[in-house]
Amino acid sequence: MKFKIIATDGHARQGVLEFDRGKIDTPAFMPVGTLGSVRSVDPDEVRGTGSQIVLGNTFHLMLRPGTQVINAHGTLHDFMGWPGPILTDSGGFQVWSLAKKKNISERGVKFQSPVDGASIFLDPESSIAVQKALGSDIVMCFDECTPYPATRKEAADSMQLSMRWAQRCRDSALGPEQVLFGIAQGGMYEDLRLESLESLERIGFDGYALGGLSVGEPKEDMNRVLELVAHKMPVGKPRYLMGVGKPEDLIFGVGAGIDMFDCVLPTRNARNGWLYTRSGIVRLKNAVNRLDSAAVDPTCDCLACQKFSRSYLRHLHVTGELLGPRLCTIHNLTFFQNLMADIRKAVKAGRFQVFAGEFLRNFRGQSSN
């Protein structure tokens, strides 16, 4: 991996990440392909939206179909037909959010599979081993996602456990072309976040991430932590904000110094008929769209906007036609990638704050239909 910062504007950065499988212009948004698929769209359609990297998940792929099946094809890239870079989440967040029964110890986490109820053990070494088998380009440390709310002691204990696990991840063998990102934890406590970041820097990683945000805390708390910590992450390494993806959050994150984002929001909302435009969110189910022959966004170059009307997309949505989620997903991913491209241009031109203000006024200023 090579990372080059091309331009800065305040804390905002514009750059490029390079892998053997391709380059990623930053700031970048990564579509989520949890099970080896960005739901309802194929890899060529994902790439057609401007996406350069996708995210897969260790937890889910370990359970189904398993690395034996994936390795029969080669790597996860071969299995899912995606030739570009892939980042794999470690599985720690899913253990926290999905496993109904879990037992966390120094060794790792024992939990019941949400698929069949089987008893499963996941620890730093096994998480890295699975990600090595998947062949992802960016491997994430196995960590414990600190819940919200948490007392200072709970947040400190959780963070310190994650730091010990981070060292074990760093000590585990990766594939020859894989890089490892560390994850800073510490809940809503600023001093714990900085302590976590210092611990990660001592261990040494190829990139650094902020985890444990957007887990139910007030937006003010998330932004406070982000504003404090992001620009203090190592300057010459990529900075990744995990699981945060509302358009206004992307703007704030870039302004704080973040380079990479991922979130299920654009694809999940697409399946629910919520489509993003620069003037707000269009809710297809609303009756106002039933006779509307205009495009969702006449300025958008995606397939849905170039060929179909709001009325037709609404029809697909309310009747459950499978074409609906596909077109809506293509639109939302295109919106997010176009937004990131405009952010990069604004940073390079030294007008990021001007662009951010204009975007937020338009996006927030219109009532959704």
Q: Which residues have a catalytic role annotated?
A: 89, 262
User: Quick one: how far is CA 348 from the chain centroid?
Assistant: 23
Instruction: State how far the Cα of 45 lies from the Cα of 31, in Å rounded to an integer.
Output: 12
Start-to-end C-alpha separation, the chain: 44
From 222, 206, 213, select the one nearest 184 (Cα to Cα).
213
Backbone angles phi, psi at 264, to 5 degrees: -80, -5
From 79, 124, 41, select the one nearest 324 (Cα to Cα).
41
Residues 6+ apart with CB under 8 A from 140: 58, 87, 88, 89, 90, 131, 180, 181, 183, 209
Amino acid making up residue 274: W
- 3-state SS of 158-181 is HHHHHHHHHHHHHCCCCCCCCEEE
Q: Return the SS3 of 282.
A: strand
* Element (DSSP H or E) covering residue 318: helix 310-319
From 135, 127, 197, 141, select the one nearest 170 (Cα to Cα).
141
* Element (DSSP H or E) covering residue 104: strand 102-104
Structure tokens at 145: 């996602």
From 325, 308, 327, select the one nearest 268 (Cα to Cα).
325
